[in-house]
Structure 1
Amino acid sequence: MSNRKYRISNQFLHYILSPIIFLVFSFFSYNIFIQNFVFIEIQDFFNISKKLLPLSNIPMFLGIIIGIFFSNNKIFNRKSFVLFISFSVLINILIFFLKNFYVFLFIRFLSSVGLGLLISYILKYYYIYVKMYSLNNITIIKSGIPFGIVIAAIFTVFFVQNLGWKSAFLFLLAGFFTLISLNFLLQYLYIEKNTSIKFSKVNKVHLLMLSALFFIIGINFFILIANAKFILISKKFDYNSINLYMIIISIFILFGDMISEYLLKIFNKKNLLLYLNLLAIFISISILSTFSEYLIVFFISLNLLIQTILWNITLIYVLDFFETNIFYFLIKLILIITFLGGICSSIFSYFLYENLYKNIPLIIIIMSFIFIGILLILSKYNNRNYHFME
């Protein structure tokens, strides 16, 4: 009887964990990107320089990195974890009463620390899931991120215009549904609480160079998504059109996620990564030379689609290369490095703001060439030893 109950529980977990992980990552993604979708409203409300707005992403990125980094600290046991996550969700209520921009940034920082903790915990239990069922379906993780971006874009059009920009952050209270789902998951995986996560030794050169790839993708992706509205404003689009175009841009990101694995069936990883970077360079050069406003929307969308595919393919490639028992460590490292790229993109945006429309494509071109250089070095180095880029 007990054996049957255990089998039923396993089968149940097999089906329930995927939507829970999807829900957590969608909430995670919405929380990150909604700030960029309401930049115009934030700038008008607090009456600050548009040049400072990209820097407002830094406390958010830094908070996520801190949350991920300290997630294994003993201070964050299960009880304190739930309490801090609840606090990081509830604190968003204060945004409704805010009149100070720097208090807003501090609240976003605290909320993001909780977000980093949340992601780390769900990754831990996904790792246990992989061990229990001998599965490695990374699609569960990555598909929630573009979906959250689409929700943020849609929310901006249908709610922010009528309810104000603060409603976008009050929607983060929906994070309690995520917490309820996650707590449900923790209850059922209680038998695995003592599961240890052991790491194998990895080649530090490989890890450093692969981390550089995610750093570059983080720069290219976040500098585009954070400044897309400003570029469209500079091209004299009206407010309603800009929000609709942001939905189109977010759908391109979702489409990029959907076709990533299909492209792997056609190209090998090395060639696909090379082709995508060359295409990103070509598109960025095209942005510099086009005078059509509508082509600019298309080029931004296509470039973000490419960066999404690049992140997915590089992620799959890294997880295929290293052993499964360092999965948890790798995903956390990849997220930290990607958000460090986001911080760097915010700094670039600040210093290059005066001619943002021209400077962003130039940054993407330079970063894409560096990506190709690192990729070729990795390929040459590892072909001698491990046939790295099959």
Structure 2
Amino acid sequence: MTVLWIGNFMVMGSVTMVTPFLTMYVQELGVQDPDEIAAWAGLIFAANFVTLFLFQPLWGSLADRYGRKLMLLRAGFGIAIIVGMMGFASSPWQLLALRFLSGVVSGFTPAATALVAANTPNERMGFAMGVLHSGNVSGMILGPLFGGLFAEWIGIRYSFFVTGAVTLAASILVALFVREKFQTASTVRNNEHSIYQGMRVLLNTKPLPTLFTISVVIQFALVSSLPLIPLFVEELQGGGGQLAFYVGLVISVMGVSNLIFSPLVGRWGDRIGFKPILAISLLGAGFAFLMQCFVWHYWQLLASRFLLGVFMGGLIPSVRALIKHYSPPGMESRAYSFDTSAVSFGSMLGPILAGGLSRYMGIRGIFFMTAILLFANFYWVRRSLLSRVSSISSLKG
């Protein structure tokens, strides 16, 4: 788990080094019209999530059949090569094609999650999922920071080469130090399912469809308002200097609280069960978004985003621990891959809907809509998961 934490940190950090600067790279590739820049940047950003959504079930099926470590190495080395190639792009079309291809080969995190889940005792599952998730969050926090520094020092084009090198180093680390106990006789039968058959099995396994839907909502909540945050911070600050710093602080403070509380909440889930933790986190995240509807000062926004990160730290590890608990033996990788597809769908849906609706309701309306979605999911979890158990002990897993 320690090696995979480092690997997740390096891969997520390297990928987020360059993602925030894709718009600037499009300009370097010769696009100057503001409308064309926005259109290309949107397409290039979304391309990765489209193919990630489509191809994750395939890689999950192969991981369950041939091993999770093999899929880790496939994703790590594949991302390293393709991201490095982005530094040689000479037109937006080439960058767009490489972003599509990057989504095809991606899948480091779900493979790492399945590998940890398959080798972790049930009584430690929440803590393990929380720790592994904190590696992702750490990379997401520090990646843009280092990406900005490298963009200033060596330029955006050469930053892609650095990104590829870091991902390559993470893959070599996994190849050398990660060990996997794989393929027992009890899981052979489930590994014989085709992708379509595996999907039917998982979607007919309650409550996995509920958990996949919750992943869509979580990711929608995380990304829907992000493009509007800079404008909202500017409104609260009333203009002035250091806007980029204040925006970065608002975005990163949620990651900091998420990083701190994910392992702690995961350990709490190991003690009292993941279903109540999931319900409490959905309710708390909904109230955190509702608070953002009524902020009028920058520090209030900062505090509510920190609180949101606390509850998000309980959501994702709980969902992943419950997916492991309910997945049929030998199908854990496919379950996590379908969950990654759900996350990708939320990543695509969030900015599209929020961008279209923001002109009518503003960012406060987006916050309110997100809160309602989270409250609705809390009610759904309460009805579909919590109503079927009679004691706290039966919630554990």
**Alignment TM class, shorter chain as reference:** 0.7 to 0.9
**CA distance in structure 1 between the partners assigned to 2:26 and 2:365 by the alignment:** 22
CA drift at 1:220: 0.9
The 2-side partners of 1:295 and 1:167 are apart by 38
Call closer, same or farther: CA 1:66–1:380 in 2, change over 3 Å.
Answer: closer
RMSD: 4.1
Q: Deviations over 1:281-301 (max 9, x none)?
A: 333232222221232233234
Match of 2:82 in 1: 91
- The 1:225–1:264 alpha-carbon spacing in structure 2 relative to 1, beyond 3 Å, is farther
Q: 2:162 aligns with which of 171, 189, 209?
A: 171
- Whole-angstrom CA distance in 2 between matches of 1:386 and 1:111: 43
Q: Against the structure 1 CA distance between its residues 318 and 206, is the aligned structure 2 distance closer, same or farther, given a 3 Å change threshold?
A: same
Q: Does residue 24 in structure 1 map to residue 25 in structure 2?
A: no
Contact 1:28 1:115 in 2 (8 A): no
Distance (whole Å) between structure 1 residues aligned to residue 73 and residue 271 of structure 2: 44
Once the 2 structures are TM-superposed, how far is the Cα of residue 310 of structure 1 from its aligned partner?
A: 1.3
Counterpart mapping for 1:31-110 below 5 A: 31=14, 33-34=16-17, 37-38=20-21, 41=24, 46-47=31-32, 48-49=34-35, 52=39, 53=41, 56-71=44-59, 72=61, 86-98=77-89, 100-110=91-101
- Give the CA deviation at 1:111: 2.0
The answer to whether the 8 A contact 1:273-1:313 is kept is yes
**Native 8 Å contact 1:231 1:357 kept in 2:** yes
Cα distance in 2, alignment partners of residues 231 and 146 from structure 1: 23
2:196 is matched with none
Give the distance between the partners of 1:337 and 1:356, measured in 2 at CA.
26
Q: Which amino acid aligns with 1:113?
A: V
Of residues 53-62 and 134-143 in structure 1, the stretch that sits farther from structure 2 once superposed is: 134-143
Q: What letter is aligned with 2:4?
A: I
Distance in 2 separating the partners of 1:59 and 1:39: 12
2:198: which partner in 1?
none
Answer yes or no: is the 8 Å Cα contact 1:65–1:339 preserved in 2: yes
Go from structure 1 to structure 2 and tell me whether the alpha carbon gap of 1:321 and 1:83 turns closer, same or farther (over 3 Å shift).
Answer: closer
One-letter code aligned to 1:290: V
Q: What residue in structure 2 maps to residue 112 of structure 1?
A: 103
What is the letter of the counterpart of residue 211 of structure 1?
Answer: F
TM-score, L = length of structure 2: 0.74
CA distance in 1, matches of 2:291, 2:130: 32
Q: Compared with structure 1, are the counterparts of its residues 139 and 79 closer, same or farther at alpha carbon in structure 2 (3 Å cutoff)?
A: closer
Contact 1:228 1:300 in 2 (8 A): no
Partner residue in 2 for 1:149:
140
Structure 1 residue corresponding to 2:364, chosen from 355, 358, 369: 358
Q: How does 1:1-390 map to 2 (within 5 A)?
A: 18-31=1-14, 33-34=16-17, 37-38=20-21, 41=24, 46-47=31-32, 48-49=34-35, 52=39, 53=41, 56-71=44-59, 72=61, 86-98=77-89, 100-116=91-107, 118-119=108-109, 121-122=111-112, 125-126=115-116, 129-130=119-120, 136=125, 137-139=128-130, 141-173=132-164, 174-185=166-177, 198-199=189-190, 203-225=204-226, 227-229=228-230, 231-233=232-234, 235=236, 236=239, 238-264=243-269, 269-322=274-327, 325-354=330-359, 356-379=362-385, 382-383=388-389, 389=395
Any idea what SS the aligned residue of 1:170 has? helix
Partner of 1:210: helix, strand, or coil? helix
TM-score (norm 1): 0.75
Amino acid of the structure 2 residue aligned with 1:180: I
Structure 2 CA distance, aligned partners of 1:135 and 1:290?
39
Shift of 1:260: 1.8
SS in 2 for 1:291: coil
- Supply the distance in 1 between the matched residues of 2:225 and 2:313 (Cα, whole angstroms): 12
Aligned 8 A contact 1:51 1:353 in 2:
no
Q: Aligned equivalents of 1:38 and 1:57: distance in 2?
A: 10
Residue 331 of structure 1 aligns to which amino acid in structure 2? Y
> Quick one: which amino acid aligns to residue 332 of structure 2?
F
User: In the aligned structure 2, how far is the partner of 1:371 from the partner of 1:134?
Assistant: 26
Cα deviation, 1:94-132, whole Å, max 9, x if unaligned, reads 43344544432322221232222x44554565466459x
Give the number of equivalent residue pairs.
369
Query: Percent same amino acid at aligned positions?
Result: 10
Q: Which amino acid aligns with 2:138?
A: F
Contiguous gaps of at least 5 residues in structure 1: 1-17
Change (3 A) 1:162 1:299: farther
Q: Deviation at 1:35?
A: 5.1
Look up the equivalent residue of 1:258 and give its one-letter code.
P
Where 1:220 maps in the other structure, the secondary structure is: helix
The Cα of 1:358 is off from its aligned counterpart by: 2.3
